[in-house]
Structure formats: structure tokens, C-alpha cells
């Protein structure tokens, strides 16, 4: 086997095991490097011959480490990213060496995929961050820990290195149950929930269409827990019987399933205005609206959903960071038109 240390020009790091050192080489290195690389990435580097243990190249991740052992590792340069960066404008709310927070516009796909291999947020972040991306899994790319649907706008955070990626991913997996993670959305929906404040606890799974989701029985094989808390902020075109043609609501997620708010609001009879997938049965309601609300709703080309608030613990400092973004112009125009409809009554 070729010894990469003989021709290596990449940075090296020499480590000496402390008195309490014990256990596998890969686990010890991952802990000693302070989360700079994941254990799986360290294991891969060892197997590639990028680690010397007591002066000898070691390709066995499970080799035992003892007090006083000297370990040398070649630190890999991150590989060039796939996909490629693209100069797409971004509204950056915050950025440092670990994270970047942006306000995503409606219409921007987060991650490349079938039918959207270019022009995505990931392409934009690769171009914007350039060399400040130290690599996720050895590749110079941003770490996406949560997503917003293409036509949902709002605040989104991405990691710029492995350690930040793992820390943020753990927070989102916990859904804020034991930590400070908080996600809040504003939505304009048809009708008005029966209760002005409530919780929708309804498992979600795939519907007949693989791109859609539906409320499922808990016994269903693909049913996954989904909990949404909501509060009605404003009612539009309210009638004497306390019903309303539309409402502005705030939703807070306790879980983060695909299309969760969209499906849950449709489940209680209040689908999002403009939602092409879950509000088909409400399209004729536009005829009940006075102008200018009627024309504005008819022309509104996406689901009226905006992720206006995101709070999380910074992966390096431990500080709780909170970011907000006002609803975009198209959604504000929709709200204004509905308010004017109230005035016309």
C-alpha cells in the first residue's frame, strides 16, 4: 500500500493521547478533533491510509489507543461540490463561519432533485459561501437540516461545516422538545377553524400521489407523528354567525413532516389559499369574495404560507439566536385585499 504521508502536501495534525485515552482509534480521533469530522468520515480516512498510529500507517479504525500514543492525520481538503455554484441572489439575514441564515423567496427550490438540478438554494449557497464551506462529509457544500417547499417563503438556516451540521440536525430531530428550537409560520386559509386556538395531532403518510401527503391512521405502516399548534390572528369577511370566508393564522410546528401545515389545515376544513394540492375543493369560494379580494385571490399563484420565525442554538457558542422575516409583498398584498373586502361589507 502506498504511504500517503511520503508525498502529502496537505495539512497534518499530530495528536498525543492523554492518560485517560482508551477505546477505538476512530472514536478517539473524532472526539479529540472536537467534532471537526464525523466518526464515519474519520473511519473512511483511516481506511484510506491518512492516519499514522505510533509512526506507522494504520488502516484499522478499531485499533486501540493507549495513553501516550502519537497519532498523525492528514487533514483532507474538501472536494469540489456537486452541484456547481450559481450566482443566484440571496437575502442573507446572518452569516458566520458555522451557519448562514437566509430569507428564502417563494419559487426557489431548496435542494437539487428530479426536474430541478440547477437554480436551487444549494446552488446559490455554494456560490455565495465559496471557500467558507469547509465541507459536509468531505464535500464543499452547505448542510441542509430543514427545508421549505418551493412555493413557501421564509427563514431557513444551513450549516457550513460538519460539526455545525450535526449540531443543527440534532436540534431539528428533537423538534424543540428539549431545546430552544422554534419554528413559526403565518398562513392565509379558507374559512375559520372552529376553535381560535388549538392543536392538530394527526399522523401523516404518503397519499396515492407519491408527491403528496395525507392524514393516516396510526396503524398505517407509513404513518408518522405530526403535531401542529395554531392560533387565529385575524378573520376576514366575517359573518354574523361568526364564520369567516378566510383567516390569517399562525402555526408552530412540534414535528416537521413534509407538507405538514398544508395537510393539517386542509384536514380541519381550512386549506391554504392558493394551495394547488390540498385546496382544490375550495376554488369556487373565490366567487363569494368582493373585489379587490376576488381578483387578488384568483391571481395568487402559490400556497399562502410563510416561515416568519426561526430560533435555534448556535452550534459553536450555544447562544439562542432568533430570526424573523416579514411576509413577502405578494402575501401582504393578499392580506391587504382581504382586509379591504372587510371594509366593503
- Whether 342 sits among the annotated catalytic residues: the reply is no
Work out the angle at residue 318's Cα, subtended by the Cα atoms of residues 314 and 321, and round it to the nearest 5 degrees. Answer: 45
Q: CB-based burial of residue 112 (10 Å sphere; 0-12 exposed, 13-18 middle, 19+ buried)? A: middle
Q: Dig out the grid coordinates for 204 from the structure.
A: 401523516
Cis peptide before 292 (omega within 30 of 0): yes
Measuring CA to CA, how many Å separate 67 from each of 25, 61, 72, 174, 249? 12, 17, 15, 36, 59
User: Are β-strands 227-238 and 244-253 bridged in parallel, bridged antiparallel, or unpaired?
Assistant: antiparallel
Q: List the catalytic residue out of 26, 98, 149, 275.
A: 149
Torsion angle of alpha carbons 179, 180, 181, 187, nearest 10°?
A: 130
CA neighbor of 251 nearest in space, from 191, 305, 203, 323 = 305
Active centre residues (catalytic): 149
Amino acid at each position: 500500500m502506498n504511504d500517503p504521508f511520503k508525498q502529502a502536501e496537505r495539512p497534518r495534525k499530530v495528536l498525543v493521547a492523554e492518560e485517560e485515552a482508551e477505546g477505538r482509534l476512530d472514536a478517539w480521533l473524532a472526539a479529540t478533533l472536537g467534532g471537526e469530522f464525523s466518526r464515519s468520515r474519520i473511519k473512511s480516512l483511516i481506511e484510506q491510509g491518512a492516519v499514522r498510529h505510533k509512526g506507522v500507517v494504520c488502516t484499522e479504525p478499531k485499533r486501540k489507543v493507549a495513553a501516550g500514543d502519537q497519532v498523525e492525520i492528514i487533514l483532507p481538503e474538501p472536494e469540489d461540490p456537486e452541484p456547481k455554484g450559481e450566482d443566484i441572489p440571496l437575502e442573507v439575514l446572518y452569516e458566520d463561519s458555522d451557519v448562514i441564515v437566509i430569507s428564502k423567496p417563494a419559487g426557489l427550490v431548496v435542494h437539487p432533485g428530479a426536474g430541478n438540478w440547477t437554480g436551487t438554494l444549494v446552488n446559490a449557497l455554494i456560490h455565495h459561501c465559496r471557500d467558507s464551506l469547509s465541507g459536509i462529509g468531505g464535500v464543499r457544500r452547505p448542510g441542509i437540516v430543514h427545508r421549505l417547499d418551493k412555493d413557501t417563503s421564509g427563514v431557513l438556516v444551513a450549516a457550513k461545516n460538519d460539526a455545525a451540521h450535526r449540531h443543527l440536525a440534532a436540534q431539528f430531530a428533537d423538534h424543540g422538545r428539549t431545546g430552544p428550537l422554534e419554528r413559526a409560520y403565518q398562513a392565509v386559509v379558507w374559512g375559520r377553524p372552529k376553535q381560535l386556538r388549538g392543536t392538530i395531532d394527526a399522523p401523516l403518510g404518503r397519499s396515492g400521489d407519491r408527491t403528496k401527503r395525507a392524514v393516516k391512521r396510526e396503524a398505517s405502516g407509513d404513518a408518522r407523528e405530526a403535531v401542529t399548534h395554531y392560533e387565529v390572528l385575524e378573520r376576514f369577511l366575517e359573518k354574523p354567525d361568526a364564520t369567516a370566508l378566510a383567516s390569517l393564522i399562525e402555526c408552530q410546528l412540534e414535528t416537521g413532516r413534509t407538507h405538514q401545515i398544508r395537510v393539517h389545515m386542509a384536514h380541519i376544513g381550512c386549506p391554504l389559499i392558493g394551495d394547488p394540492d390540498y385546496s382544490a375543493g375550495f376554488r369556487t369560494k373565490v366567487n363569494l369574495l368582493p373585489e379587490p379580494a376576488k381578483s387578488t385571490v384568483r391571481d395568487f399563484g402559490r400556497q399562502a404560507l410563510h416561515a416568519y420565525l426561526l430560533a435555534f442554538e448556535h452550534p459553536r457558542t450555544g447562544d439562542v439566536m432568533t430570526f424573523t422575516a416579514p411576509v413577502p409583498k405578494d402575501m401582504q398584498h393578499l392580506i391587504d385585499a382581504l382586509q379591504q373586502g372587510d371594509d366593503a361589507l
